[in-house]
Amino acid sequence: MLMKTASQSLTEQLCTRFAERIRTRLLAPGARLPSVRQCAQQQGVSPSTVVAAYDQLLAQGLVEARKNRGFYVREMAVAPEKYAQGAIDNVASSPRGGLQAQHVPVSATALIRGMFQSGSDKPQPGMGVFPPDWLETTFMPAAVRKVTSGPALQAFSLQYGEPAGDSGLRHALSQKLVAYNVQAAPGQIVTTVGATHALDIVSRTLLRAGDYVMVEEPGWAIEFARLTALGMRILPVPRRADGPDLEVMARYCELHSPKLFVSVSVFHNPTGYCLTPGSAHRVLQLANAHNFYIVEDDTYSHIAPDHATRLCALDGLQRTIYVSGFAKILAPGWRVGYLAAPSALVEAFIDTKLLATLTTPALLEKALAWCIEQGQLRRHAERIRVRLDQARGRSVKLAMAHGCSFASPPAGLFGWVETGVDTDALSQRMLDVGYLLAPGALFHAERQPSTLMRINFATTQDAQFWATFERLRAEQ
């Protein structure tokens, strides 16, 4: 709560709070600030204090006043020439039917910035990773010590790594993929700096500005933004319980000849849906008939059943490219990912990787290979799955007890929750008391009001969070 001090008035505190959220993109361009009366009630201050704070924001160029409508975050918070420092436009509709923008939509990085800067020791429902105490292990430090001891360290730490990535890790990954029925030789695998880097390599290699790309919606905000930044035209494909909307995909294929389809087949983010064999078969038929590639993002493979339907397993890496990583299951800071691809594309992917990063960290790759070969990673993932199942049960009960429902059956790490109120507005109120939400608007290619939010089952077992959520929701 705001508290008047000798060093800063209530007006200055309120202005600083809003300014910080605008600059760190937790309040996106175009977002409406609470009305003067509403803000005064929420913050426990007088309307005159709010008016003075809003006037300061106007003077700083962070908001604009719209006659009879209120105060809104400016579309461009800084000059266009400072784009590299964060000035970003919203997505605009392309006259040709796809979604295109001159710059990255600011809302895309809002959640990530919040994850980095939450400034609260409370469990964060909007986080996309497991809590740190879930990821604590002894085998990871042991693996690093093992690969950095003795003369072997000299062989790989004082020179660049292999262009495709550590050969030992690629061999271990090839064996690991067999459990998913994905047949990929070590020569078909390229290591990357996390799964996001793998997705970027594929896009930069196969696409050119102006190309059409089909992406599931709701979907990962960063994927929408990343493709937009590269100048692609996004074709949102509604995600159903059994897979993507095939009728929409077929229509896109006829009208726009897309070059790529990006899909999360298993434990889709944010719905938790898993692809069915029938839907997978029809997606592959479309890809063959209309000559586009499929990128299958299997980020959540470590907490998913091995037998889950994967496009790459059915297709045999002909029109499919498999992407995954280890940040979710080991540690967000261990940026080790990989892609498995048709042999004909591998060299081009390596070239793109080299242009961006020169190499990937051989030390971490060798340590990870040891963890896989010794079975440490598999046992760790099994423990996480058991713990997550228990957490999910508790979280679902709490959510339903506090008036929420689930838009899709709870599964995996995330829940897609119906709240009944605008979660963009609610997320700002929850920030005031130290909780970071993931509002539904973040998961759409074109930002729009939503009553949905994504929750992390591992971080929503706190009854205090749900009590606070219910109280603030009632004030909306």
346 and 430 both lie in a single domain: no
> Cβ of 468: how many Cβ atoms within 10 Å?
18
Q: From CA 402, how far away is CA 180, in angstroms rounded?
A: 38
* 127 inside domain: yes
Residues 227 and 129 in one domain: no
Whether 349 and 212 share a structural domain: yes
Per-residue confidence at 349, pLDDT binned at 50, 70, 90? very high
Q: What is the pLDDT of residues 191-245, one digit of tens each?
A: 999 999 999 999 999 999 999 999 999 998 889 989 998 999 999 999 999 999 9
Domain assignment present for residue 86? The answer is: yes
96 assigned to some structural domain: no
Q: How many domains does the chain have?
A: 3
**CA distances, 315 to each of 76, 260, 294 (Å):** 45, 15, 10
pLDDT of residue 77: 38
Radius of gyration of the chain (CA): 23
> Do 342 and 426 reside in the same domain of the chain?
no
Q: Note the pLDDT of residue 2.
A: 77
In this structure, the answer to whether residues 237 and 299 fall within a common structural domain is yes
Q: Is residue 414 included in any domain, yes or no?
A: yes
* CATH code at position 419: 3.90.1150.10
**Are 203 and 68 within one domain?**
no
With respect to residue 140, please indicate whether it lies within any of the assigned structural domains: no
Per the prediction, the chain carries an average pLDDT of 87
Better-predicted residue by pLDDT, 289 or 433: 289
CATH number of the domain where residue 22 is located: 1.10.10.10
197 with 263, same domain: the answer is yes
Same-domain pairing of 329 and 469: no
> Does one domain contain both 77 and 165?
no
Q: Is 142 inside any structural domain?
A: no
Nearest to 339 by CA among 353, 357, 356, 358: 353
Domain end, chosen from 374, 408, 427, is at: 374
Q: Are residues 220 and 301 in the same domain?
A: yes
174-207 burial, b for 16+ CB within 10 Å, e for fewer? Answer: bebbeebebebebebbbbbbbbbbbbbbbbbbbb
Q: State how far the Cα of 205 lies from the Cα of 190, in Å rounded to an integer.
A: 13
pLDDT of residue 300: 94
Mean pLDDT, rounded, for 169-176 = 96
Q: Contact at 8 Å (CB) between 106 and 88?
A: yes
- Does residue 108 register a pLDDT over 90? no
In the predicted model, is pLDDT for residue 453 greater than 50? Answer: yes
Using one digit for the tens of pLDDT, what is the confidence trace for 12-58?
899 998 888 888 777 878 888 999 998 888 888 999 999 999 999 99
Q: Which domain holds residue 390?
A: 120-134+379-474
Residues 244-272 have pLDDT tens digits of 999 999 999 999 999 999 999 999 999 99
Q: What is the mean pLDDT of residues 118-139?
A: 86
452 neighbors 418 (Cβ within 8 angstroms): yes
Query: Which pTM was predicted?
Result: 0.85
Query: Domain check: are 340 and 192 in the same one?
Result: yes
Assigned domain for 219 exists: yes
Distance (Å) of CA 317 to CA 110, 332, 339, 341, 394: 34, 28, 11, 6, 39
Q: What's residue 93's pLDDT? A: 37
Whether 363 and 383 map to the same domain: the answer is no
CA dihedral (119, 121, 127, 133) positive or negative:
positive
384-426 pLDDT per residue, tens:
999 999 999 999 999 999 999 999 999 999 999 999 999 988 9
